[in-house]
């Protein structure tokens, strides 16, 4: 989904397009990886220093309402945000060193689905986060 489509969806859902809102969403849209609130704030203040933290929090609600926000919750307790613009359900390979996140297609194994089915569990959604070291960081770490 391109940025204009996001804005369109926003307007069609009855939300106003303010300068702040545009900057806030744009910051997330153009980030190539999930970002923390702190990073998000910096990115937005970069474009408009007057933007308040609470405005971002309020726009989180908007993005959630639009079904566009993905919250990533690493084991370390932090929260990272990213836009979920894919058709396909996807997950991230998250590098523990550089923070780079790469979306991958989801494929729960057949055996897995069978186990769940056997329990007559009605699976609605799932959340998978994969942590490790990306190729580049792995190479770097090997050097030491």
Q: Residue 54 corresponds to which tokens in the numbers above?
A: 């609470």
Phi, psi (degrees; rounded to nearest 5) at 98: -100, -10
Q: Which of 9, 37, 85, 103 binds DNA (CB under 7 A)?
A: 37
Distance CA 91, CA 127 (A): 8
Distance CA 102, CA 106 (A): 12
- The interface partner of residue 120, options being DNA, its own copies, none and the CB cut-off 5 to 8 Å by kind, is its own copies
Nearer to its own copies among residue 2 and residue 76 (C-beta): 76
Distance CA 31, CA 69 (A): 13
Nearer to DNA among residue 109 and residue 127 (C-beta): 127
Among the listed ranges 2-10, 22-30, 34-42, 118-126, the one in contact with its own copies (CB under 8 A) is 118-126
Asked if 139 is part of the footprint of DNA (rule: CB under 7 A), the reply reads no
> Do the Cβ atoms of 11 and 17 come closer than 8 Å?
yes
Footprint of DNA on this chain (CB under 7 A)? Answer: 11, 14-21, 24, 37-38, 48, 50-55, 57-60, 62, 79
């Amino acid at each position: 989904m391109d940025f204009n489509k996001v804005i369109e969806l926003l307007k069609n859902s009855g939300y106003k397009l303010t300068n702040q809102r545009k900057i806030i969403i744009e910051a997330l849209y153009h980030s190539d990886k999930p970002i923390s609130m702190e990073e998000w704030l910096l990115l937005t203040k970069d474009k408009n220093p007057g933007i308040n933290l609470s405005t971002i929090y309020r726009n989180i609600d908007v993005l959630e309402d639009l079904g566009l926000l993905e919250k990533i919750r690493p084991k370390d307790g932090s929260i990272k945000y990213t836009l979920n613009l894919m058709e396909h359900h996807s997950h991230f390979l998250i590098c523990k060193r550089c923070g780079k996140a790469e979306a991958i297609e989801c494929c729960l194994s057949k055996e897995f689905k069978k186990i769940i089915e056997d329990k007559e569990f009605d699976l609605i959604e799932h959340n998978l986060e994969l942590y490790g070291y990306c190729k580049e960081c792995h190479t770097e770490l090997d050097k030491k």
